[in-house]
Amino acid sequence: MVGFDELSLGHTFISMMFFIVFGVIAFSIIKGILQWSKNNNEPLLTVPAKIVTKRSNTSGGSGNSSAHTSYYVTFEVQSGDRLELKMNGRDYGQLADGDFGLLSFQGTRYHAFERQKKESSV
């Protein structure tokens, strides 16, 4: 027979797990809202940049869950500083390592990359 202390301990554990899961979800939502707000307060910049590298990260896809892929591109600006921006798959697919062009971004939000032709050195 299960005693009162064991039931109480079980309820306490379930309550703690609920608050931990709820806290993680709330933290993620608040973090996303703060980043969105910060990006909105940043100026929209357009700067010459070079694509240094591209990467993707796929998660899920096992069992009955669907896979989700995130796409990232690292740009290098004229000062030598690098920034990695997340973008959609369509934009990601149109870019190649070594491309030069004008990068438009706002905080950590990617807007566009307009490829420029390289000047020939003849």
Q: State which residues form the domain around 104.
A: 44-115
Domains identified in the chain, total number: 2
One domain for residues 36 and 85: no
- Considering only residues 64 and 51, tell me which one the structure prediction assigns the higher pLDDT: 51
pTM for this one? 0.73
Three-state DSSP class for residue 49: strand
One domain for residues 54 and 106: yes
Spatial distance between the Cα atoms of 34 and 60, rounded to a whole number of angstroms: 26
One domain for residues 110 and 52: yes
CATH number of the domain enclosing 109: 2.40.50.660
- In this predicted model, what pLDDT tens digit does every residue of 22-62 receive, in sequence order? 999 999 999 989 988 998 999 999 999 999 999 999 988 78
Average pLDDT of the residues in 5-11: 73
